[in-house]
Amino acid sequence: MSAPFEAGEKVLLIDQRDRTHLFSLRAGATYHTHAGTLAHDDVIGRPEGTRVTTARGMVFAAFRPRFADFVLKMPRGAQVVYPKDLGPIVVYADVYPGARVLEAGTGSGALTIALCRAVGEQGRVVSYELREEHLAQALANVESFFGKIPDQLEMRAGDVTDAAAGEERFDRLVLDLAEPWAPLGALRAVLEPGAVLCAYLPTTIQVHQLVLALPRSGFLHIETFEVLKRGWHVTERSVRPDHRMIGHTGFLTLARVGPED
């Protein structure tokens, strides 16, 4: 990735006040900022870290976006899982290279992208989405991020409970939907022994209902937590927490598939 920028790839421009702009490079095109225009051609062919200046003298540094930058800027149909939770979901659900993951709902595709990266080309992600417009947005986001729909991903329109009718077995089940307790009983049949479930829920009422339902569906070793990220403002004269933070996103609940009764 140390190669110079090429037309077609994404660039993240960062100004002197750390404001960011994300867009795709096109030969001959112009990008409009609050501080004047700049030519895409000023970035194409140059290395990361290159400084570019708008017609009105604003200086930006050009980098390839990180996955976290892309998630925060990508178009949303449904609310995305924030980067602060994506990492813990992948680690605590133990999504490893080669794993077979069943996911729902696809939503805007942020978690789907994280799962595809974690399982790698040897793994598999089957992702279900009920709403057509969300699936269309997720397809566009996944394609925009990877440049194509990755081979390890299959996106399906429909209810995740439909997976119970198939022959395919999964090592991990990742649910970001309002009523994850509903499909549990049916999906247990397509989960390998020892499989890990991770459910992501915004309210304590949902967490309570899920945790009470899990043992009844044969899951055990149940754990719930949330992840708090507090930014810090660090300058020469002051070191203190940021005034603002995202105070709440969602709770992670994890469980393992227990032995057959």
- Where do contacts with ligand SAM occur on this chain (CB under 6 A)? 78-81, 104-105, 107-111, 128-131, 134, 159-160, 176-178, 183
CB of 128 to ligand SAM, least distance (A): 4
CB of 246 to ligand SAM, least distance (A): 15
How many angstroms separate the CA atoms of 34 and 122, rounded? 44
Q: Which of 220, 212, 211 lies closest to 188 in space, CA to CA?
A: 220
Q: Which of 8, 23, 27 lies closest to 62 in space, CA to CA?
A: 23
Amino acid at 110: A
Which residue's CB is nearer to ligand SAM, number 62 or number 80? 80
User: What stretch of H or E contains 205?
Assistant: helix 204-216
Q: Which of 88, 35, 79, 120 lies closest to 198 in space, CA to CA?
A: 88
CB of 91 to ligand SAM, least distance (A): 16
CB of 86 to ligand SAM, least distance (A): 8
Which residue's CB is nearer to ligand SAM, number 83 or number 258? 83
Which residue's CB is nearer to ligand SAM, number 40 or number 124? 124
Instruction: Please state whether beta strands 239-241 and 191-201 pair in parallel, antiparallel, or not at all (unpaired).
Output: unpaired
Which residue's CB is nearer to ligand SAM, number 108 or number 152? 108
CB of 142 to ligand SAM, least distance (A): 10
Which residue's CB is nearer to ligand SAM, number 133 or number 242? 133
> How far out from the chain centre does Cα 23 lie?
19
- DSSP output for 24-52: E--TT-EEEETTEEEEGGGTTTS-TT-EE
Q: What is the phi-psi region of residue 61: left when phi exceeds 0, alpha when psi lies from -120 to 50, beta otherwise?
A: beta
CB of 206 to ligand SAM, least distance (A): 12
Asked if residue 240 lies in contact with residue 233, where contact means CB atoms within 8 angstroms, the answer is: yes
CB of 198 to ligand SAM, least distance (A): 11
Which residue's CB is nearer to ligand SAM, number 29 or number 136? 136
Q: Which of 75, 85, 146, 137 lies closest to 107 in space, CA to CA?
A: 137
Which residue's CB is nearer to ligand SAM, number 105 or number 218? 105
Amino acid at 24: S
Asked if residue 220 lies in contact with residue 194, where contact means CB atoms within 8 angstroms, the answer is: no
